[in-house]
Amino acid sequence: MNLRYAVSKDLGFLVEGLEKNRVIENRDKRDIKAKASDKKEFNEAISKKNIRVVEDNGKPIAFLYFRTDFKIMYIYDKFFWVDLIYVKENYRGKGIGKLLYQDAIKIARSKGFNKMVIDVFDSNKNSMKFHEKLGFKPIYAIYKKKI
């Protein structure tokens, strides 16, 4: 396995991960398919070196997309934002997500961050368990109701 920054040829894999995460998050069907704006954002993140990819035998199997300029309510000091982490289903439970986070922590510290934040949808129970196992703690929840 190899850990590297994403390159342009990874775009299809990044989109696949985004869309599969959106399914797990129970997003509205209209919001699952990646839009041109999502692809543009990924391309910008690739050029800024904000996406780390794990590959196995030359094929991408996981990625972590981070940002250093993100703002979110109720967090006032600076933080390293993990926008998206994705591991192909048949590679889950093998330490690849943990590897990506260890790498992200090194990057965050090298950029002067001492706090990492990620949002996890309540419908993604496996992600919630995974992040709690890594020491992440929930800080607030957003609820919705049809009326």
pLDDT at 3: 97
Q: pLDDT tens-digit profile of 58-116?
A: 999 999 999 998 787 677 788 899 999 999 999 999 999 999 999 999 999 999 999 99
- pLDDT higher than threshold 80 for residue 144: no
- Is residue 117 a part of any domain in this protein? yes
pLDDT at position 28 is: 86
Q: Which two tokens stand for residue 63?
A: 């990625």
- Dist CA 49 CA 35 (whole Å): 21
Q: What percent of the chain has pLDDT over 70?
A: 99
Tell whether 147 is covered by a domain. no
Report if residue 26 sits inside a domain. yes
Q: How many CA atoms lie within 13 A of 96 on its CB side?
A: 23
Structural domain includes residue 91: yes
Note whether residue 124 is domain-resident.
yes
Residue 63, domain extent: 2-133
Q: What is the pLDDT of residue 84?
A: 94
Q: Is the pLDDT of residue 1 over 80?
A: yes
Specify the CATH number for the domain of residue 69. 3.40.630.30
Query: Does residue 92 lie within any of the structural domains?
Result: yes
φ, ψ (nearest 5 deg) of residue 67: -135, 150
Please check whether residue 140 lies inside any domain of the structure: no
CA pair distance 8, 53, nearest whole angstrom: 12
Q: Report the interhelical angle of 36-47 vs 11-24 (nearest 10°).
A: 120
What confidence score (pLDDT) does residue 73 get?
67
Among the listed ranges 7-11, 81-85, 122-126, which one has the minimum average pLDDT value?
Answer: 122-126
Domain membership of residue 19 (yes or no) is yes
Per-residue pLDDT for 138 more than 90?
no
Q: Provide the number of structural domains found in the chain.
A: 1
The Cα 104–Cα 64 span in angstroms is 8
Q: What percent of the chain is modeled with pLDDT above 90? A: 70
